[in-house]
Amino acid sequence: MPEEIIGSCAVKRLNILDPQGNADENLLPPLNGQDIRRLYELLVLSRTFDGRALALQREGRLGTYPSILGQEAAQVGSAFALEKSDWVFPSFREMGMHITLGYPMHLLYQYWAGDERGLATPTGLNILPICVAVGTHIPHAVGAAMAASYRGDRNAVVCYFGDGATSKGDFHEGLNMAGVFRAPVVFICQNNQWAISVPFDRQTAAPSLAQKAWGYGFEGIQVDGNDIFAVYRATRTALEKARNGGGPTFIECHTYRIADHTTADDASRYRPPEEVADWREKDPILRLRRFMTQRHLWDEAYERHVQEEATAAVDEAVHRAESAPKPAATEIFDYTNAELSPRQQRQRKEVG
- Which of the residues are catalytic? 257, 261, 270
Closest CA to 35 of 3, 80, 70: 80
Q: Are strands 194-195 and 198-199 parallel, antiparallel or unpaired?
A: antiparallel
Name the residue type at position 151.
Answer: R
Q: From CA 103, how far away is CA 81, in angstroms rounded? A: 16
Element (H, E) at 187: strand 185-191
Going by the DSSP 8-state scheme, the letter that residue 93 receives in this structure is: S
Residue 201, burial from CB neighbour count under 10 angstroms (0-12, 13-18, 19+): exposed
Distance CA(166)–CA(198), nearest Å, equals 13
Whether 143 and 104 have beta carbons less than 8 Å apart is answered as no
CA proximity to 106, closest of 62, 72, 40: 62
